[in-house]
Amino acid sequence: MNIKKLEEHALHIRQSIVEMVYAAGSGHIGGSLSGSDILTYLYFEAMKIDENNVESNQRDRFVLSKGHASPLLYGTLMEKGLLDKALIPEFRQVNSILEGHPCRNSVPGVDATTGSLGQGISQAVGMAMANKYDKSDYKVFSLLGDGESQEGQVWEAAMAAAHFKLDNLCVFLDFNQLQIDGDIKEVMNPIPLDKKFEAFGWKVIEIDGHNFEEIAAAVKLANETKGQPTLVLANTIKGKGVSFMENEAGWHGVAPSAEQFELAMKELV
């Protein structure tokens, strides 16, 4: 693992996120920035996926359960070389393939159409079950939002994953503790999330979601875990990488002004 190279990938992904949301004048920037290090590690170290097998059923899968963070997924696919960076100005434009929420039918490398919160992790569970039935060896990864964990469907999926012993499923929970209406504890407190997933029968690992060594160790442990799914509770910072966006709920779903864009891009170097 080359941490310096991973940091470069994460930086480029963050740049693409800011560029996309600025160009569109809308989009979800804060939660996209918070998950950038996680997706960087998954796509450049953990997952078996590249331009040669992107259309194959026999490769690792990723489901962005917090589908509103589509700039994060698009930026990662661009950095991986699976999506053209020239599409950045088309984000959220009419007739563009880069919709506000990712669509499996139009974007290469997108494994699930998501956006309705709770449905992404449910699809990931279905994929992992299909893997078991097919006796395939691919892994299924997903990124879940902490505000999203307020959805009842998340817990139905969690119950099913443990019941069917889906040890081929690893879910990262982007625990930045902020959602569109503010602090998750004040909106609808889902904490303690670690104890709840443990009670549902999951292996739970808590990490710093911006530390590549800790992310790597969590994936390794998830791969070694047998008979149960894994939840990686990743402590993150909403808006990570742009100082004036960090830990600010107001940057959940707004675009920067021209001045703010310039400031952000100066920091992302």
Give one DSSP letter per residue of 213-226, joined into a string. HHHHHHHHHHHH--
**Amino acid residing at 132:** K
Residues 74 and 87: their CA atoms lie apart, in Å, by 10
Return the pLDDT at 51.
Answer: 87
Return the pLDDT at 54.
Answer: 87
Peptide bond connecting 192 to the previous residue in cis, omega within 30 degrees of 0: yes
To the nearest 10°, the Cα dihedral for 77, 78, 79, 82?
60
Could you say which DSSP state residue 250 is in?
G
Give the tens place of pLDDT for each residue, 58-90. Answer: 899 999 999 999 999 999 999 999 999 999 999
Work out the pLDDT band at 7, boundaries 50, 70, 90: very high
Return the pLDDT at 58.
Answer: 83
Percent of the chain with pLDDT over 70: 100
Task: List phi, psi (to 5°) of 239.
Answer: 80, 15
Give the tens place of pLDDT for each residue, 240-264. Answer: 999 999 999 999 999 999 999 999 9
Give the tens place of pLDDT for each residue, 9-59. Answer: 999 999 999 999 999 999 999 999 999 999 999 999 999 998 889 888 889
Work out the pLDDT band at 167, boundaries 50, 70, 90: very high
pLDDT averaged over every residue in the chain: 97
pTM score of the predicted model: 0.97
Return the pLDDT at 179.
Answer: 97
As to burial, measured by CB atoms within 10 angstroms (0-12 exposed, 13-18 middle, 19+ buried), residue 246 is middle
Average pLDDT over residues 201-223: 98
- Beta strand 178-179 with 182-183 is antiparallel
Show Cβ contacts of residue 127 under 8 Å, excluding neighbours closer than 6 positions.
Answer: 61, 63, 111, 112, 140
Give one DSSP letter per residue of 20-51, joined into a string. HHHHHT----HHHHHTHHHHHHIIIII----T
Give one DSSP letter per residue of 115-175, joined into a string. -STTHHHHHHHHHHHHHHHHT----EEEEEETTGGGSHHHHHHHHHHHHTT-TTEEEEEEE
Residues 102/64, Cβ–Cβ less than 8 Å: yes
Number of separate domains in the chain: 1
Domain CATH for 249? 3.40.50.970
Whole domain around residue 49: which residue ranges? 3-267
On the CB side of 180, how many CA atoms lie within 13 Å of its CA?
9
Give the tens place of pLDDT for each residue, 100-155. Answer: 999 999 999 999 999 999 999 999 999 999 999 999 989 999 999 999 999 999 99
Return the pLDDT at 55.
Answer: 83
Residues 85 and 44: their CA atoms lie apart, in Å, by 17
